[in-house]
Amino acid sequence: MKKLICFPCAGGNAKSFAKLIRGIHCFAICAEYSGHWSRYEEPLYYSMEDCIQYQMQELREKITLQDEIFLLGHSMGALIAFELGKNLLNAGYNVKGLYLLACMPPDEINDTDFNFEDDEEIKLFLKRINQMPESVLNSDFFRENLLPSIRNDLRILKNFIGAYSSREAIDCNIVCMCAVQDPLANEMCGWQRYSQKKIKEYYYPGNHFFFHEKENTEKIVELINLEISD
């Protein structure tokens, strides 16, 4: 069976892919990170390695060695998809392709971009990338329920990028997608260094959350369906 597994951005949730997976012609699984949203009562991950280990444990209950696996990740979720793809291949799973959205390769991300002195700086960062409206950023719900997981994810991301040294290239197809107005990732050609195959790049109008725009969503769904059907 063909299965698409989706990983959201820092502080994100499984529902962020609802519109996207609605038109995908295969079985879709959207990850909900521990300590986030519907799982907010569970402990947060300590590190990227911790996150990958938990994802491996959870996926073993949802996929088989016979499945054709496709991984899609947005922003930090793209890094998770990439690292998880390597782990799944090493474990004998049939990883056919990665769809990496709005994320440069780890060696091109500046970890100092994630130096935040306080929560106000985190809110300014989220506002800059249009992750959520200002009315939400200033709400008690954000402060009490969302900010802890976002703060933790950004810490994990900074530590992961700062210590990253691997140059291991994955043996599967990589399709890169980003928006030309994205302040964090407006080009992704560097992912070629991390693939044993020729990567594909697609650019869209919009910002860091370009895949939420209806026209972009339709084009991305069409692209993924064509890739999966090959």
pLDDT at 38: 86
pLDDT at position 107, please?
A: 94
Tokens in use for 193? 């260094």
Residue 179, classed as helix, strand or coil, is strand
- Compute the 3-state secondary structure of the chain and give helix, strand, coil in percent, each to the nearest 5: 45, 15, 35
pLDDT score, position 37: 79
Please tell me the number of Cα atoms within 13 Å of 33 on its side-chain side.
Answer: 29
* 23 vs 67: CA distance, rounded Å: 20
pLDDT at 134: 86
Q: C-alpha angle with apex 44: 98 to 36, nearest 5 degrees? A: 70
> How is domain 2-109+168-229 classified at the CATH fold level?
Rossmann fold (3.40.50)
What's the predicted TM-score (pTM) here?
0.96
Other C-beta atoms lying within 10 Å of the C-beta of residue 9: 25
The pLDDT score that the predictor gives to residue 181 is 94
pLDDT value of position 167: 87
Mean pLDDT, consecutive 10-residue stretches, the chain (230 aa), reads 97 94 96 90 94 96 97 98 98 98 95 90 93 89 92 96 92 97 93 97 96 97 93
Residue 211: the pLDDT is: 96
